[in-house]
Amino acid sequence: MSPSYPDRAAWGTAPKLRAWQQEAFDLYSRREPRDFLAVATPGAGKTTFALRIVSDLLSRGIIRAVTIVTPTEHLKQQWADAAARVGIAIDPEFKNSQGATSRDYAGVAVTYAQISMHPALHRARTEARKTLVIFDEIHHAGDAKSWGDGVREAFEPAARRLALTGTPFRSDVNPIPFVTYMEDGEGIRRSVSDYSYGYGPALADGVVRPVIFLAYAGEMRWRTRAGDEIAATLGTPLTKDQLGQAWKAALDPKGDWIRQVLQAADRRLTEVRRVVPDAGALVIATDHETARAYAKHIRAITGEGATVVLSDDPEASKKIKQFSASHDRWLVAVRMVSEGVDIPRLAVGVYATSTSTPLFFAQAVGRFVRARKRGETASVFLPSVPTLMGLAGEMEAERDHVLDRSLPEEGLDDFLLEDAQRAKDNPDVLGDELPFETLEAVATFDRVLFDGGEFGTAAEPGSPEEEDFLGLPGLLEPDQVRTLLSKRQSDQLKAKRNRPEPKEPQLAPHELIANLRKELNGLVGAWNHRTGQPHGVIHAELRRACGGPAIAQATAEQVQERIAKIRHWATQRSH
């Protein structure tokens, strides 16, 4: 069986597992462990592997419930959607205040922050039924002491614990709960995984895409708070302060650098879409203000609007889901899409943030590496900054979590990840002022990094040298490239015409219950207007008339019964 089969196994819908997933599942089944740590590169399909274990343990009665712990709210929804596709109902809307969920669900999806706020509640839930706990991106349990302590308290009594991560390394020395550490020859404790599947093997197997990094340098000029004008060339040796300010000038939406890079990335996207019609692009921005400004640049470049996802937007998950299912070109997000969010059609990225920690960089690039079929290539545009160049050249490096050592120098490693992931409403500031004012920022194409090598020479945006790389494959004559891409596009369109119309997707259990609750609340509101009775009184009367628990714990069938009852009331003069 090919390791890359089936094409979209990572969605949790595939009837068969990829080779690595089957190997890891077989290992798990032989050991029957209480704790298991699986490390697999982003895009390899950890969700499918985990859900296969859930299905097996539920069917054999080893567990009666499952709790999935994620770093973000959006990932709760994503896990519930994936689980629904394999017949496992997960409640992603569970709140600590509920205490319990509907019997319709096999389990809940919660966040690490949610656990830390009420670990005793989750411990009681874990003790009540034999539970499998899945820790998605387990390294986040070390983000804060309260998170780690909460996870330990809540899930110490769990029947089984399955820890997953694509980027296990952290630079702090906080032990990650339920992870095994062993001393090496020098007495240093390192994390030990039960199964590991790195980017290098995944790339060789065709499970993930190769990534081409396109680096852009340029001339920057800015005015400091003291009124001094400074000029520097991004991509040349600079002091730490010069580099930081030149980097910020490049990312400033008021300058030309980011506009020129977005324009180049859009040309690359157009080339990719000749053979991958639904390919999309993502800009990872630093803060809300610049994200909106980048979206304006994209509209000016493409004539189309970009989907903008901000970390405080209650519709963020819905927007990401809609973008994932669409053919829209551009998504602009503030950091929150850097980890775990599955949008397999993302093929082009712009790394427009000054965050340079290895963990954040690996997570960000992980959004583009998910392979759907052999031959697809990811392209990531980024500033020509030594730190990023080094990270891009070390894509295949694998690291363990290391304890018993001093922290690195500030800014040089990933202990700043928590700050990097924090919601940002405004640009980073010193005091109450911007540290400088951008006067000029012009981009130049610097080089391409691929498979540890560097290719290309400096060139102006729009030059034939730049187009050689934006129009890859560049080893063919223009006529040959055009003929080849046209044929592939023709094949894609023909295959699409021959495919049967897709069936209307069924609602996942959590979506069905949410819709029914919304319908019931609307009817209760109408009855309130008709009778003047408070909403709570109406809900209480419905509960007395139909039986069952409060609406937060009611099953879909129970909610439907209450809808029918209030509709019956509405046909009578009085109830």
- The first and second tokens of residue 38, run together, are 């699986």
DSSP string of 150-205, one letter each residue: HHHHHHTT-SEEEEEES----SS-PPPTT-EEEE-TTS-EEEE-SEEE-HHHHHHH
Last residue of a domain, one of 201, 225, 247: 201
Let me know if residue 173 belongs to a domain.
Answer: yes
Check whether the bond before 6 is cis (ω within 30° of 0). yes
Distance in angstroms (rounded) separating the CA atoms of residues 389 and 213: 9
What's the angle, vertex CA 434, arms to CA 360 and CA 241, rounded to 5?
Answer: 60
| Residue 306 DSSP code | -
Q: Give this prediction's pTM.
A: 0.68
Structural domain contains residue 382: no
- Per-residue pLDDT tens digits for 182-216: 876 666 777 788 999 987 788 777 787 778 888 99
Classified as helix, coil or strand, 224 is strand
Distance CA 315, CA 294 (A): 20
Structure tokens at 413: 């490693």
Asked whether the beta carbons of 383 and 297 are under 8 A apart, the reply is no
Calculate the CA 380 to chain-centre distance. Answer: 16
Would the CA dihedral through 458, 463, 468, 470 be positive or negative? positive
Which of 135, 167, 201 terminates a domain? The answer is 201
- Whether residue 106 is contained in a domain is answered as yes
Instruction: Give residue 284's pLDDT.
Output: 93
DSSP string, 106-118: SEEEEEHHHHHH-
Q: What is the CATH number of the domain that holds 99?
A: 3.40.50.10810
Cα dihedral 513→515→517→518 (10° resolution): 160
For the chain, the domain total comes to 2
| Blockwise average pLDDT, block size 10, the chain, 575 residues | 37 66 95 94 88 96 96 89 94 93 95 93 95 91 77 95 77 71 72 85 78 90 84 88 91 95 95 89 92 96 92 78 92 70 87 84 84 79 92 63 40 36 40 65 86 71 76 41 37 57 74 88 81 88 91 91 87 55
**Main-chain phi, psi angles of 378, to 5 degrees:** -95, 145
Residue 304: inside a domain: no
184, 201, 218: which is the final residue of a domain? 201
Q: Establish if 115 belongs to a structural domain.
A: yes
What backbone phi and psi angles, to 5 degrees, belong to 511?
-70, -40
Residue 60 lies in a domain: yes
Residue 463 lies in a domain: no
Residue 321, domain member (yes or no): no
Q: How many helices (H) and strands (E) does the chain have?
A: 19, 18
Give the span between the Cα atoms of 59 and 47, in whole angstroms.
Answer: 18
pLDDT digits (tens, 9 = 90+) for 230-285: 899 998 888 888 898 999 999 999 999 999 999 999 999 998 888 888 999 999 99
In the block, residue with structure tokens 């069938």: 557
Residue span of the structural domain in which 514 resides? 509-567
